[in-house]
Amino acid sequence: MKKFFFIILLALTTACSNGFQKEPTVATSGFDFLPTSTTGQIIKHKYYALSYNENYEEAEWTAYISAKKHLSRAQRKRPYFIYDPLVKSKSANYRNYKKSGYDRGHLVPAGDMRFSLDAYNDTFFTSNIAPQNHEFNAGIWNRLEGKVRYWTAKYGDLYIITGSILKPNLKTIGREHVVVPNYFYKIILDNNKNNPKAIAFLMPNKPSEKALYKYVVPIDTIEKMTGIDFFPKLNDALENQLEQSSSYSEWTFR
């Protein structure tokens, strides 16, 4: 009996210390618009999905929902980068980046996953990083990530696809020959049934002081460069309309 009451007391103490709160989750099984994969190796983590390309030792795309209710400025301790346990072919070792001159650039931003410790930590799988020029990573790429959070607050939940243009004969780093992309892309879909809209950015992996809208391109352009169908489950007419446009008039830039 004493043991029983001790267990109950321990459970209550733990619950009180956690404030009876559970961390929110985003299940990738609920995603309606995962892109196609050129490799057949789609990895579904709890908070985001990715398509891993073993030939280049990085993801060809990552996908997640930027949810308005999950916007957070919670402070999180940065963990070490680790192998992705779900990549069967084994994701690249973080040591490939050592003394390479390139940042371990996040595809799914850690800053978008501050709402949950688990979500935040999962962005530090090496399957979620690619070599980025430091000034690019800390500059215009960081500005674009911040703009996504701004648009999430303004428009509501958005669907985000991020990746790089992977192709043969690019520069590589480390013993595992991790490819250094020349270009990164980010595609944003607002699937509001009353006013669906999308916008895509294609950016060279180098410093830039240009305005973000200077890098807006049609989604079709990125599809032709990658061989990926980004929204295969959208209504065909809507998909064609959204993917052919390079207009950014419906997106607020400030």
Q: Is 220 a member of any domain? A: yes
Residue 53 pairs in a beta bridge with 58
Q: Is 26 a member of any domain? A: no
Q: What is the distance between the alpha carbons of residues 151 and 147, in angstroms, rounded to a whole number?
A: 6
Residue 188 pairs in a beta bridge with 160, 199
What pLDDT is recorded for position 192?
A: 86
106 is catalytic: yes
Q: How far is CA 82 from CA 65, 91, 104, 180, 183, in A?
A: 23, 9, 12, 19, 24
Owning domain of residue 177:
40-244
Q: What is the distance between the alpha carbons of residues 179 and 55, in angstroms, rounded to a whole number?
A: 9
Phi-psi region of 6 (alpha: psi -120 to 50; beta: other; left: phi over 0): alpha
171-189 per-position pLDDT tens digit: 999 999 999 999 999 999 9
> If pLDDT is split at 50, 70 and 90, which confidence band does 31 have?
low
For residue 82, the domain's CATH number is 3.40.570.10
Q: Is 252 a member of any domain? A: no
Q: Is 164 a member of any domain? A: yes
Q: Is 147 a member of any domain? A: yes
Is 71 strand, coil or helix? Answer: coil
Q: Is 14 a member of any domain? A: no
What pLDDT is recorded for position 30?
A: 52
Q: What mean pLDDT is predicted for residues 31-60?
A: 93
Q: What mean pLDDT is predicted for residues 106-121?
A: 97
Q: Is 2 a member of any domain? A: no
Q: What mean pLDDT is predicted for residues 105-111?
A: 98
Residue 7 in this model has a pLDDT that exceeds 50: no
What pLDDT is recorded for position 17?
A: 38
Q: Which residue out of 70, 106, 134, 177 is catalytically annotated?
A: 106
Q: Which residues contact 31 (CB under 8 A, 6 or more apart)?
A: 49, 63, 65, 159
Q: Is 107 a member of any domain? A: yes
> If pLDDT is split at 50, 70 and 90, which confidence band does 32 have?
low
Q: What is the mean pLDDT of the chain?
A: 89
Q: How many domains does the chain have?
A: 1
Residue 13 in this model has a pLDDT that exceeds 60: no
HSE-up of residue 94 (Cα within 13 Å, Cβ side):
15
Q: What is the distance between the alpha carbons of residues 72 and 54, in angstroms, rounded to a whole number?
A: 33
Residue 91 in this model has a pLDDT that exceeds 90: yes
